[in-house]
Amino acid sequence: MKFVYILQSTINNERYYTGLTNNPEKRLVEHNRGDSIHTNKYRPWKLVNVISFDDTQKAFDFERYLKSGSGRAFIKKHF
């Protein structure tokens, strides 16, 4: 099972991060610990959405979409 997760910074509500993992809760802890150079500046983070996929390729494709311009607009509009 793969999960696409969306994080939102609690210090800057306009900052989101999207990722792909096997364990969203563990990954949130890692982001809040500062293990990721992409997210350590805006921590702490909270999980705003987790989407599960049986198909790894579909999860990868959806994460890639969310990181595109239209995917970011989708996140801002719906989350």
Q: With pLDDT > 70 as the criterion, what percentage of the chain qualifies?
A: 100
CATH number at residue 49: 3.40.1440.10
Instruction: Note the pLDDT tens digit of each residue in 45-64.
Output: 999 999 999 999 999 999 99
Instruction: Note the pLDDT tens digit of each residue in 14-47.
Output: 999 999 999 999 999 999 999 999 999 999 999 9
**pTM across the whole model:** 0.92
Distance CA 38, CA 31 (A): 9
Distance CA 15, CA 7 (A): 8
Locate tokens 């792909």: which residue?
A: 20
Tell me how many domains the chain contains. 1
Distance CA 2, CA 59 (A): 6
Residue 76 has pLDDT above 90, yes or no: no
Q: What confidence score (pLDDT) does residue 58 get?
A: 98
Q: Which domain, by its residues, includes 10? A: 2-78
Distance CA 54, CA 47 (A): 20
CB atoms within 10 A of CB 34: 12
